[in-house]
Amino acid sequence: MMSNASVDPVSLHLDEKFTHLSGTDFECYIYKVHDRLRWQNEKLYEPEIMAIGPYHHGKDNLQWMEEHKLRYLRLLLKRRNETSVDRYIVAMRDLQEQALRCYADSVWLNKDEFVKMMLLDSCFLVELFRKFTITSMRDRNDPLFKIDWILPSILRDLLLFENQLPFFVLVQLFDMTKVLDPHDNITDLAIQYYCFVGKYFSYNAWPGFEKILYAYNGISACGVKHFIGLAHQITSFSLSKSIPLTSVVGDKNKIWEHIHCATELHEVGIKFKKSKHDTLFYNVKFKNGVLEVPRFVIHEKTESVFRNLIAYEQHHLEEDIGLKYISGYVTFLCCLINSSQDVSLLRRYGILKNMLGSDEAVVSILNKISTCAVAPRDNFYYSQVFKNVSGSIPKENDTSEVTVLNQFSGQI
């Protein structure tokens, strides 16, 4: 056996680096956002009030929520008449190596710090979801439920691509602390928190919670990798087993064409109509010259939410997560809105609600989001809608050059 003295120092250096790799390409699914996406505004990918997982753990501006995590753990012990966290620490240590392998980028917490983080973060999320749905479990003085902006800000941070904890860690803590309540199901609790607090984000009026639970009836928690993955499922896919998606998958042998902006479509006779309130936000329809679009809201957190969901889609294959609905939806919006006049027109039809103040601000945000939204070359959700809209315009009114891919597809 060769001694270290006879080994090339480059070999030693690389061998040492191997020990810091968090996972393999086949195991990891929690990544850091690539510089290509974050160069415009990295704060959109960073937590405002709460770190979950190791990537942002320990930052000074997030310490306020660390105290709340400790408080929730102490309240959990008190509720269960327990005096020590020892059995929970043992459970977290058993999951430590498996959890570490989920992170694609290096984690520089030592083993004890990582285990402590796992316990505090999982306990906080499980208890937060419980308290949100089972109101009898809330402390009347809990500031998280007294101050209006906190729950939406927490949700915003939970939707960050980097700010994730493997869901199996939550499941372990949840199973060890179950309560006698019919609502105490970790997946249902997470869905309910996302959907009801998500009304603040107002992608659209959500379908009834019962409809969502029906769609996910029987879903196994082991099929959920992390919170943003669950949120992407809810945001993207049909939430009713009885309503099939139509015209979803484009012909892979054909490439789609762009459509004109809203004002240009309106000028050539295309009519606009706001969809019914219970329609999923991405469910755009075109029939008899009428483009039916679900109501959507643009607000201060829109850019962060969409950017992080797009980052999630770009790191996963369609066979794993389904069609890339968010990227497609952003492409649709950016085709429809090129100017403040487009925003004004959509507002008049009740399709768009602008919470930013000026119509120019909406255009600016969509232009920024478009830089990271790579439209699918095939299996584009709106390919049939785009084809039908373009086909309905008389040729003498269509002065644009036919383009096989719109501006977003070229940004690869």
Asked if 308 and 159 touch (Cβ cutoff 8 Å), the reply is: yes
Residues 232 and 373 in one domain: no
Residues 272 and 232 in one domain: no
CA distance 317 to 138: 40
Lowest mean pLDDT, pick from 77-91, 113-127, 246-260, 277-291: 246-260
CA distance 287 to 104: 45
Residues 108 and 206 in one domain: yes
- Number of domains forming the structure of the chain: 2
At 40-50, the pLDDT tens digits run 899 999 999 99
CA distance 69 to 376: 40
Residues 222 and 112 in one domain: yes
Residues 89 and 193 in one domain: yes
Residues 372 and 231 in one domain: no
Tokens of 155: 């949700």
Last residue of a domain, one of 174, 202, 236: 236
Give the model's confidence band at 71: pLDDT under 50 very low, under 70 low, under 90 confident, else very high.
very high
CA distance 249 to 79: 50
Residue 8 lies inside a defined structural domain of this protein = no
Lowest mean pLDDT, pick from 129-133, 201-205, 345-349: 201-205
Residues 111 and 167 in one domain: yes
Range of the domain at 336: 262-397
pLDDT at residue 337 greater than cutoff 60 = yes
Stretch 305-315: mean pLDDT, rounded?
A: 93
Residues 349 and 224 in one domain: no
